[in-house]
Structure 1
Amino acid sequence: MINTITNYEKTKISMANIFLQYDQKAMIKKFSLEHDPDWLSLTFVNRIYRINRQTGSVQWSNDAFETVYEADYNEAMTIYDVLCYSKDGCHLANEFVNINRLSTIRTGNLSQNSGFFQSTADFFHGKPLELHNACIALSGKELDKGDVAFEMKLFSFLPIIIRFWEADDEFPTSLQILADRNILDYMHYETLMFALTHLFQRLKEEM
């Protein structure tokens, strides 16, 4: 049997090789990464990841790497993008903006009315307690304004806010995402879709 490699896997392999061309010492300093001669480590949506400093491969674990899993496409591509392509001197504005404001300056699928957000909101429908508990399990900080509202950490250095409203007689379920105004200094607009897809998947797993 011939094992075929998907285009996603090819892209991950290509990005691993690109990662190795970047200054790892600069990454460590920029994001205060834990490191040793073999690995760089960081937290992404409340889970520890490590990047092999010789191969560029990305792994994650929930038990101090007694059990190891290979990062999927969304996970790996987000981590590579932040470590390799974030702007020099990137910093938080400490001002949250609705993510659909970003779609007015970039083409893509992050507008608030996109199927991407509505399908996720529909999944959360009828499960506010489960969503609330999932946010807590991922170390979220509870906020006001919304049936469920939390500030989450995409990375330890990059917060994001999720607000969910249940449907009522006048309005359907609604999901609102707010990001730091400077988030595109940390990752490309397209990569934000990967990061949010992973965040929603982690919440669904916890639910």
Structure 2
Amino acid sequence: MKIEQGISNYEKMKNNMADVFLQYDQEEMIRKFGLTQDKNYLYICCLNRQYRISRLNGQVSWSEDAFQTEGEADYNEAMTLYDVLCCSKENCHLACEWVNVGSLSAVQGGTLAKGSDFFQDAGKYFDGKKDALALACERLKGRKVEKGDVAYELDLFPFLPVVLRFWESDEEFPASLQILVDRNILDYMHYETLMFAISHMLNRLRDEINKVLP
């Protein structure tokens, strides 16, 4: 990553997107997604965490105590929010049909394809931690579903759920992680953004696991 004057390229891109955000119709975002808002911010929940986007400068922050304290959104968080709010299709809606994220026709061979290092590395991290992973999913207000040693439906956004399924390794097979998404998910975000969103979800789960493991 190149550093110029102490600012990474990721930070530059995030700041550029904050400026782009201000060019879009905020009232349309509020209408489309039923956002809470006031004169200074738009509010949105992502993975059981509250975010707000400044209506004045486009910056994204998050809080877990009603914004008595707050943190700056990282690249994956901010870019996901910007893309969904600014670039989702006008009539985006759920198909209510789950598909494996790697099977989406538009992403064949991409980073999120089946068997990619991305999922193998995540599977290795969660291996041997199934109880902690289940607790982490519960802390993100996940809803238990069938199949897998750990399987939960999580609200990426209140209007956009995803499913995580995990199987621990055994004598024959390595640990396996599967992400299911709604068939229409690319109506809500670009494929590149889907990578950011899933990376953010896995990072949130790792953070929750680290809170309970020694």
Deviation at 1:81, TM superposition (A): 0.3
Dislocated runs of 4+, deviation >4 Å: none
Q: What amino acid sits opposite 2:157 in the alignment?
A: F
Q: Are the counterparts in 2 of residues 47 and 62 from structure 1 also a CA contact under 8 Å?
A: yes
Unaligned runs of 5+ in 2: 210-214
Deviation at 1:3, TM superposition (A): 4.3
- Cα offsets for 1:82-110 (capped at 9, x unmatched): 000000010000111011112x4235200
2:42 equivalent in structure 1: 40
After superposition, residues 1-207 of structure 1 pair within 5 angstroms as 3-102=5-104, 104-106=105-107, 108-207=110-209
TM-score (norm 1): 0.97
2:212 equivalent in structure 1: none
TM-score (norm 2): 0.94
Q: Are the counterparts in 2 of residues 108 and 190 from structure 1 also a CA contact under 8 Å?
A: no
Q: CA separation in 2, counterparts of 1:15 and 1:42?
A: 17
Q: Are the counterparts in 2 of residues 34 and 40 from structure 1 also a CA contact under 8 Å?
A: yes
- Cα offsets for 1:120-159 (capped at 9, x unmatched): 1100000110001100010000011100000001001000
Q: Are the counterparts in 2 of residues 122 and 173 from structure 1 also a CA contact under 8 Å?
A: yes
Q: What is the number of equivalent residue pairs in this alignment? A: 205
Unaligned runs of 5+ in 1: none
Q: What amino acid sits opposite 1:95 in the alignment?
A: E
SS at match of 1:89: coil
Structural RMSD (CA) = 1.0
Q: CA separation in 1, counterparts of 2:178 and 2:72?
A: 30
